[in-house]
């Protein structure tokens, strides 16, 4: 066999393997998507009665893409300090891409006067690296606040899948539950992602007296529509606000694969890579939320591009508040 024929044969073999792999990935994606739709259709929960309400809710972004001050660290991850009257919850623990110690989260906590000893509970929205402390923790099914251990003894951690931490008490949640007066977990909602696979994500819901339900969201992989629908299933009170990530990297991505490919557009939208998230998807979601006439909307920039931020800002006007590390969101 000539060198040219051998090369052509090898190239054809590699192309065949690539096509087979792509076909397999596509089949898994569409099967997973059908399964997620079936699970969603079958998920019917009773209302969370007797939840109560809080007088005052504050959400302090500790980690996100933009900051209110240049001396605060930023990254494409999420960590929010949620204070609902006397209850303090750390919602997600950031990315810490460089496995630093102290991590960007710990440095920002110190700068903002936040002590882990004052946290009553930890909630991990979903098991992705930008919410559980880094890629090594995603691979290892763990979560961490920093590159070295942080003592979380006595702090319950509500996680949507089996995740571990050396000192925290990890509690896997499979349904909506009240976790403190006026505060509830929505329960995990599934979504099949093309590259990242089966993803279970939970949100927080806080009932603010005289206002209604404020949803605190990690990435919004289940879609804004299903997160809102779940809340309306669980509560009589209206949706007053939504704060956090919804994964709308329409025109840009905060992360790049190999320095070239838009990671977030390809890997986290619940759509196949040949049909990425688009402007109509964002406008449809905005319309869905607009019909609830919310009093507060604050979209995380960690996984949404500036075009999407501007679209939400324009649509919701005075109800919209920029989400910035170090700038507290107050509802009372």
pLDDT tens per residue, range 292-332: 999 999 999 999 999 999 999 999 999 999 999 999 999 99
Is the pLDDT at 3 greater than 50, yes or no?
Answer: no
- Phi, psi torsion values for 136, nearest 5 degrees: -65, -35
Is the pLDDT at 203 greater than 60, yes or no?
Answer: yes
Torsion angle in degrees (nearest 10) through CA of 310, 267, 280, 318: -30
Q: CA dist 293 to 62, 201, 320, Å?
A: 28, 25, 12
Tokens of 27: 């089949």
Provide the CATH topology of domain 49-331.
Answer: Metallo-beta-lactamase; Chain A (3.60.15)
pLDDT for 5 equals: 54
pTM score of the predicted model: 0.93
| Residue 185 CB coordination number (10 Å) | 22
Q: How far apart are the first and last CA of the chain?
A: 79
pLDDT for 23 equals: 85
* pLDDT per residue as tens digits for the range 188-200: 999 999 999 999 9
Distance of alpha carbon 183 from alpha carbon 52, whole angstroms? 8
| Chain Cα centroid distance, residue 54 | 24
Which residues lie closer than 8 Å to 31 by C-beta, 6 or more apart? none
Which residues lie closer than 8 Å to 63 by C-beta, 6 or more apart? 73, 74, 75, 77, 78, 79, 92, 94, 95, 104, 105, 108, 302, 325
Distance of alpha carbon 55 from alpha carbon 38, whole angstroms? 38
Total residue count of the chain as it appears in this document: 332
Q: What is the mean pLDDT of the chain?
A: 94
**Contact status, residue 245 vs residue 219, Cβ threshold 8 Å:** yes
Q: For residues 129 and 10, which has the higher predicted lDDT (pLDDT)?
A: 129
Q: CA dist 74 to 63, 96, 246, Å?
A: 6, 10, 18
pLDDT for 139 equals: 96
Could you tell me where the DSSP H helices lie in the chain? 3-42, 104-111, 129-132, 135-140, 224-234, 263-267, 279-290, 306-316
Which residues lie closer than 8 Å to 269 by C-beta, 6 or more apart? 193, 247, 249, 276, 277
Reference 216, options 255, 158, 169, 263; nearest CA is 158
Which residues lie closer than 8 Å to 65 by C-beta, 6 or more apart? 74, 75, 76, 254, 300, 301, 302
Mean pLDDT across 10-25: 64
pLDDT for 16 equals: 60
DSSP notation for 200-217: EE--EEEEETTTEEEEEE
Mean pLDDT across 79-103: 98
The residues spanned by each domain of the chain are 49-331
pLDDT for 261 equals: 82
pLDDT for 24 equals: 84
Is the pLDDT at 19 greater than 80, yes or no?
Answer: no
Q: For residues 8 and 253, which has the higher predicted lDDT (pLDDT)?
A: 253
DSSP notation for 166-204: SSSEEEE--S-EEEETTEEE---EEEEETTTEEEEE--E
Kindly tell me the burial class for residue 170, based on how many C-beta atoms sit within 10 Å of its own C-beta (0-12, 13-18, 19 or more).
middle
* pLDDT per residue as tens digits for the range 247-272: 999 999 999 887 778 889 888 889 99
pLDDT for 14 equals: 47
Is the pLDDT at 10 greater than 90, yes or no?
Answer: no
* pLDDT per residue as tens digits for the range 31-73: 999 999 999 999 999 999 889 999 999 999 999 999 999 999 9
pLDDT for 4 equals: 52
């Amino acid at each position: 066999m000539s060198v040219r024929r051998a090369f052509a044969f090898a190239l054809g073999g590699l192309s065949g393997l690539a096509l087979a792999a792509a076909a397999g990935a596509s089949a898994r994606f569409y099967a997973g998507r059908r399964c997620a739709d079936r699970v969603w259709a079958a998920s019917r929960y009773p209302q969370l009665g007797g939840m109560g309400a809080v007088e005052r809710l504050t959400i302090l972004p500790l980690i996100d893409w933009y900051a209110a001050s240049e001396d605060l660290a930023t990254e494409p991850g999420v960590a929010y300090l949620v204070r609902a009257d006397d209850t303090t919850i750390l919602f997600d623990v950031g990315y810490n891409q460089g496995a630093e110690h102290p991590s960007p989260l710990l440095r920002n906590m110190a700068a903002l006067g936040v002590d882990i000893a004052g946290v009553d509970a930890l909630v991990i929205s979903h098991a992705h690296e930008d919410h559980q402390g880094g890629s090594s923790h995603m691979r290892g099914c763990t979560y961490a606040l920093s590159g070295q251990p942080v003592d979380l003894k006595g702090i319950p951690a509500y996680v949507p899948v089996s995740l571990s931490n050396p000192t925290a008490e990890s509690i896997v949640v499979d349904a909506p539950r009240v976790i403190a007066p006026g505060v509830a977990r929505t329960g995990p909602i599934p979504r099949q992602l093309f590259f990242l696979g089966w993803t279970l994500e939970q949100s927080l819901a806080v009932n603010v007296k005289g206002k209604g339900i404020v949803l605190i969201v990690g990435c919004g992989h289940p879609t804004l529509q299903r997160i809102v629908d779940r809340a309306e299933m669980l509560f009589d009170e209206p949706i007053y606000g939504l704060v956090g990530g919804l994964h709308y990297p329409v025109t840009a991505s905060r992360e790049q694969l190999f320095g070239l490919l838009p990671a977030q557009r390809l890997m986290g939208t619940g759509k196949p890579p040949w049909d990425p998230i688009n402007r109509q998807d964002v406008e449809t979601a905005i319309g869905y939320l607009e019909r609830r006439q919310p009093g507060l909307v604050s979209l995380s920039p960690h996984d949404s591009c500036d075009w999407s931020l501007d679209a939400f800002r324009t649509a919701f006007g005075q109800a919209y508040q920029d989400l910035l590390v170090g700038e507290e969101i107050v509802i009372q």
